[in-house]
Amino acid sequence: MAKRKTKFVCQDCGYESAKWMGKCPGCNNWNTLVEEIEATSTKNRHTFSGVSSSNGKPEKISSIKSQKEPRVTTNLKEFNRVLGGGIVAGSLVLIGGDPGIGKSTLLLQVSAQLADKEMPVLYISGEESTRQTKLRADRLGITADLLYVLSETNLLNIASQIDQIKPAFVVIDSIQTIYREEVTSAPGSVSQVRESTSELMRIAKTSGVPIFIVGHVTKEGAIAGPRLLEHMVDAVLYFEGERHHTFRILRSVKNRFGSTNEMGIFEMKEEGLREVLNPSEIFLEERSQGAAGSTIVASMEGTRPVLVEIQALISPSAFGNPRRMATGIDHNRVPLLMAVLEKRVGLMLQNQDAYIKVAGGVKLDEPAIDLAIAISITSSFRDQPTRPEDIFIGEVGLTGEIRRVSRIEQRVQEAAKLGFKRVICPQKNLDGWTYPKNIEVIGVNSVQEALEVGLAR
């Protein structure tokens, strides 16, 4: 008979302890350790290596033949690009996002498109019955014959159905509802999520069937469960957006078969998600012409340049401690750039409240947006608008210099395609490439030079 032992597992980070503690030593969170009973029988103990367990011999890397991974494409070009060109056979992909953001809708649409291509698809829902899934399918207009729907949470039964149907594509919605009978903890616990994901990975790698699993997120926005979960899968996608806005952003933060930080934009309609092929036009369509504090920046999201508007509002503070608020960018970047403007340009911003926002609900985190933020702050402070046909690109250093950025050619080409006339960018980025004929590229070395060019009327 198997021995049983009791352990306490943190539900946030997976830390294990022999006794209960109020504060987890691993993640420093309170009241996250939950008691679990683990069977430690040595018989039939599951071991997973991620690949075949056969005894192989090491090979010289020069003698291994390289081959391009075959990919299956869907009708959603945005979805294909975020994955690196399509779905890779045998891959395990994790999709996370806030409740109600559209994860199940997206995967149901993808499943229907693959089923229409004569590929059997198995959609497994642990949160809805088959009739509830059918209601969503009717709303989306899905009538694919090769789309199979299963309402099941037992991983053993799920593996049996995958073996019987032999689908070309599997969706698990969601991993927090799946459980293994050998693990005594409740579904959604660290042990259940870890063991269930390991078994799904074994199925994907041995059968070559791509599996998409949906993961719940915590209130901080991270995927619930152990951090090991994101290390085990081949790709991690986040589905972001405001529930009060129609636009949704599918962002790749890990991808073994493509570039990371790719972004696909969708619009939520009554009949489902519709892809947005030119997001720059969407983000700029409501821009106010001639408004002080508004600038346009060409930001890179993976391999795609996206033009977005940065707005700044600078107003005198009524308190001794001015407010610094930012939406869509790192809030620590605002006081840093304001300090540079005070020291290097001579702007008196110590008694000013600063509110910075990226229009459209996009989150930008690359240093190339520094110059646009600095120009927006100065424009609002002086109440002097910038030219509506100008683009600002560049990283701002603490000494006031403008540092070079990556992929300047793609940024300028996107600006020229949308009808902008001037690009103010780092001087160091001007060498080694040819500018488009219908746009003027101006190189600057400091913030002071950029202000003289960008705010000159």
Residue 194 token pair: 């870890």
User: DSSP letter at 154?
Assistant: B
Q: How many CA atoms lie within 13 A of 285 on its CB side?
A: 6
β-strands 272-275, 263-269: how paired? antiparallel
Residue 193 token pair: 């999520």
* Helix-, strand-, coil-residue percentages of the chain, each rounded to 5: 25, 30, 45
Q: Is 97 annotated as a binding residue?
A: yes
3-class SS string, 12-42: CCCCEECCCCCECCCCCCECCEEEEEEECCC
Q: Is 258 annotated as a binding residue?
A: no
- From CA 68, how far away is CA 322, in angstroms rounded? 56
Q: Is 23 annotated as a binding residue?
A: no
Q: Is 210 annotated as a binding residue?
A: no
How many angstroms separate the Cα of 290 from the Cα of each of 80, 386, 387, 390, 455?
38, 7, 7, 12, 12
Q: Is 12 annotated as a binding residue?
A: no
Q: Is 60 annotated as a binding residue?
A: no
Q: Is 279 annotated as a binding residue?
A: no
Element (H, E) at 113: helix 103-116
- From CA 426, how far away is CA 453, in angstroms rounded? 13
Give the largest Cα separation in the chain, rounded: 85
Tell me which residue of 298, 106, 359 sits closest to 214, measured CA to CA.
Answer: 106
User: DSSP letter at 182?
Assistant: T
Burial class (CB in 10 A: 0-12, 13-18, 19+), 377: buried
Q: Is 120 annotated as a binding residue?
A: no
Tell me which residue of 418, 423, 395 sits closest to 295, measured CA to CA.
Answer: 423
What spatial distance separates the first Cα and last Cα of the chain, rounded to whole Å? 85
Q: Which amino acid is at 209?
A: V
Which residue shows structure tokens 């999201």? 301
SS3 87: strand
- Binding site: residue ranges? 97-104
Residues annotated in a binding site for ATP: 97-104
